[in-house]
């Protein structure tokens, strides 16, 4: 179920699985290294074309701009900034928000750190 974020909170957020969050993270990191062809991205992410376009749509809804030029996809912003806006497996948090919340030494902090480690392998 999608939920709209406040104007100060950014783009529309949607719940994702931990596996999908990890894949979106990897996709942004690959695009952060420079323009990439779709075939190379889908092969490395082990996605079919339909799944790839679904992930691009999810990134678009998160306010992350990826363009296609000369058969190559390009991330139109800094990869770290884009990663911070990725949806997290809780429908009300972004990856960046969870990274901030995970700073600490309590049991709750360690739990968030463990979830982050599964995504940011």
pTM, 2 dp: 0.75
What domain range is 83 assigned to? 17-119
CATH code of the domain in which 40 resides: 1.10.10
Say if 7 falls within a structural domain: no
Cβ atoms within 10 A of the Cβ of 21, count?
Answer: 24
Report, as an integer, the average pLDDT of 45-65: 96
Question: 11 lies in a domain?
Answer: no
Query: In this predicted model, what pLDDT tens digit does every residue of 86-103 receive, in sequence order?
Result: 988 877 788 999 899 999
Is the residue at 1 inside a domain? no
The answer to whether residue 8 is domain-embedded is: no
Tell me the per-residue pLDDT of 62-85, one tens digit each, with 9 for 90 and over.
Answer: 999 999 999 999 999 999 999 999
């Amino acid at each position: 179920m999608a939920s709209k974020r406040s104007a100060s909170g950014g783009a529309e957020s949607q719940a994702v699985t931990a596996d999908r969050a990890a894949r979106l993270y990897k996709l942004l990191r690959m695009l952060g290294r420079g323009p990439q062809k779709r075939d190379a991205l889908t092969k490395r992410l082990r996605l079919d074309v339909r799944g790839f376009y679904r992930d691009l749509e999810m990134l678009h809804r998160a306010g992350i701009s990826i363009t296609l030029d000369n058969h190559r996809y390009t991330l139109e912003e800094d990869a770290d900034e884009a990663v911070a806006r990725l949806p997290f497996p809780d429908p009300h948090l972004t990856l960046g928000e969870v990274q901030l919340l995970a700073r600490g030494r309590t049991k709750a902090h360690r739990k968030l750190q463990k979830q982050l480690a599964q995504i940011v392998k």
